[in-house]
Amino acid sequence: MPESKQQDLTPGEQRIMEVLWSRGNSTVGEVRDVLAASSKPLAFNTVQTMLRILENKGFVRHREEGRAFRYSAVVDRSKASRRAVKSLVNRFFGSPGALAVNLLRTESLTPGEIAEIEALIAREKAR
């Protein structure tokens, strides 16, 4: 799958991807039912259109199962997360370090998070 084909996920697309990541392959109706149970229900056609868009972006693929299509994620959650962070860095910060500095200046961290960051910095320095 070409890397340039993918774009960022919209919040609605991410909700659908969360369903596919947690359930595995699913039909439009199954995705719609899961979404309806946890938030405002979406029309069948809306979910179907969003799945087609996700397929065009390279995040999912489908296979025919009778008259229905069964969709499955092509991109796993960790890869999508990395792409989103990379996009955020490119759009707003210019470098990963600038993002890290911004987060450290504006957010409160737990002692465990601070220890983890310190260990990662130490590991990078040792390289």
Ordered structural domains, the chain, with CATH: 8-73 (1.10.10.10), 77-126 (1.10.4040)
Are the C-beta atoms of 47 and 32 separated by less than 8 Å?
yes
Q: What is the pLDDT of residue 1?
A: 39
70-90 pLDDT, tens digit per residue, is 999 999 999 999 999 999 999
Task: Say whether pLDDT at 29 is over 90.
Answer: yes
Are the C-beta atoms of 32 and 41 separated by less than 8 Å?
yes
Task: Say whether pLDDT at 5 is over 60.
Answer: no
> What's the average model confidence in pLDDT over 63-74?
96
Candidate ranges 35-44, 53-62, 100-109; pick with highest mean pLDDT: 53-62
Q: What is the pLDDT of residue 6?
A: 60
pTM above 0.85, yes or no: no
Task: Say whether pLDDT at 38 is over 90.
Answer: no
Task: Measure the CA–CA gap between 26 and 72, rounded to whole angstroms.
Answer: 7
Locate tokens 């799958």: which residue? 1
Closest CA to 21 of 72, 82, 57: 72
Q: Which of 4-8, 24-28, 36-40, 96-100 is predicted with the least confidence, judged by mean pLDDT?
A: 4-8
